[in-house]
């Protein structure tokens, strides 16, 4: 499992914007920046849609004022992530689609939910500076406490 001091894995992400389909690699997305990446088990799921993502939407300006870019990670495809972004009015957050779960697995933070959804990300949030993890908040199964927007804002 990734830990404080580790470099984020290399990955190319695809995402959808108003301009269409785009892709960028880890170095372009996280290099030379302070970022918060928060991961959810799935777009459009209850805790993710009712609390996790909305908390970051509500506090996006405060993160930006501290020079922090926000990224939401899920093992979903780019079209699902874009639809969720639009429904949640989350334009200030870059939605990272990890469709095959390769980034999540490289982090060591994947879980298998079986027939419920298959491979998913565990709920977590991390802070990285220039691609190196400086804080990691991993939720206990079934919990939503340490990876909230409020908790992460206190760490940046």
Domains (range + CATH), the chain: 24-153 (3.40.30.10)
| CA 17 from centroid of its chain's CA atoms | 17
pLDDT interval class at 89 (50, 70, 90): very high
Looking at residue 71, its pLDDT comes to 97
Looking at residue 119, its pLDDT comes to 80
Rounded CA separation 108/48 (Å): 20
Rounded CA separation 155/8 (Å): 18
Instruction: Kindly name the residue from 16, 36, 37, 48 that is annotated as catalytic.
Output: 48
Q: At residue 42, what are phi and psi to the nearest 5 degrees?
A: -175, 140
Percent of the chain with pLDDT over 90: 81
Please check the confidence at residue 10 and state whether its pLDDT lies above 80.
Answer: yes
Name the DSSP letter for residue 9. P
The mean per-residue pLDDT over the stretch 55-63 comes to: 98
The count of C-alpha atoms lying within 13 angstroms of the C-alpha of 35, restricted to the half-sphere facing its C-beta, is 27
Which range has the worst mean pLDDT, 37-46, 72-81, 121-130?
Answer: 37-46
Question: 68-74 and 94-97 as β-strands: parallel, antiparallel, unpaired?
Answer: parallel
Rounded CA separation 139/145 (Å): 7
Can you read off the two tokens belonging to residue 17? 């914007």
Q: Which residues contact 20 (CB under 8 A, 6 or more apart)?
A: none
Annotation says 48 is catalytic = yes
């Amino acid at each position: 499992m990734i830990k404080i001091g580790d470099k984020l894995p290399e990955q190319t992400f695809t995402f959808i914007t108003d301009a269409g389909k785009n892709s960028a690699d880890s170095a372009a997305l996280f290099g030379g920046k302070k970022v918060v990446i928060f991961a959810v088990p799935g777009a459009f799921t209850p805790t993710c849609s009712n609390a996790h993502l909305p908390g970051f939407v509500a506090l996006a300006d405060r993160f930006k004022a501290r020079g922090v870019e926000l990224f939401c990670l899920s093992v979903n495809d780019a079209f699902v992530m874009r639809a969720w972004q639009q429904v949640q009015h989350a334009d200030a957050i870059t939605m990272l689609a990890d469709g095959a779960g390769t980034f999540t697995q490289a982090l060591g933070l994947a879980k298998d939910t079986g027939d419920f959804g298959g491979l998913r990300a565990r709920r977590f949030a991390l802070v990285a500076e220039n691609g190196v993890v400086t804080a990691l908040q991993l939720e206990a199964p079934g919990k939503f406490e340490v990876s909230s927007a409020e908790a992460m804002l206190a760490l940046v």
